[in-house]
Chain A
Amino acid sequence: AQTVTQSQPEMSVQEAETVTLSCTYDTSESDYYLFWYKQPPSRQMILVIRQEAYKQQNATENRFSVNFQKAAKSFSLKISDSQLGDAAMYFCAYWPGANSKLTFGKGITLSVRP
Chain B
Amino acid sequence: DTEVTQTPKHLVMGMTNKKSLKCEQHMGHRAMYWYKQKAKKPPELMFVYSYEKLSINESVPSRFSPECPNSSLLNLHLHALQPEDSALYLCASSQGRGGPGETQYFGPGTRLLVL
Contacts and interface: CB of A to CB of B under 8 A. Distances in A.
Interface stretch (B19-27, B60-68, B76-84, B94-102): B94-102
Contact of A44 (B48, B94, B103, B106): B106
Contact of B88 (A43, A46, A91, A99): A43
A107 B106 CA distance: 16
B55 A101 contact: no
A98 B96 contact: yes
Contacts of A47: 2, 103, 105-106
A64 interface: no
User: Looking at chain B, what size class is its interface with the partner chain?
Assistant: 20 to 34
B113 interface: no
A91 B108 contact: no
Interface string A11-53: 0000000000000000000000101010000111111001010
B108 A43 contact: yes
Most chain A CB within 10 A, of B42, B50, B94, B103, is at B42
User: Nearest 5 A-B pairs (CB), nearest first?
Assistant: A104-B42, A45-B106, A99-B50, A98-B98, A44-B108
11 contacts: A33-B103, A43-B108, A44-B109, A45-B92, A45-B109, A47-B105, A99-B31, A99-B48, A99-B56, A102-B104, A104-B43
Interface of B: 2, 31, 33, 40-43, 45, 48, 50, 55-56, 58, 88, 90, 92, 94-98, 100, 102-109, 111
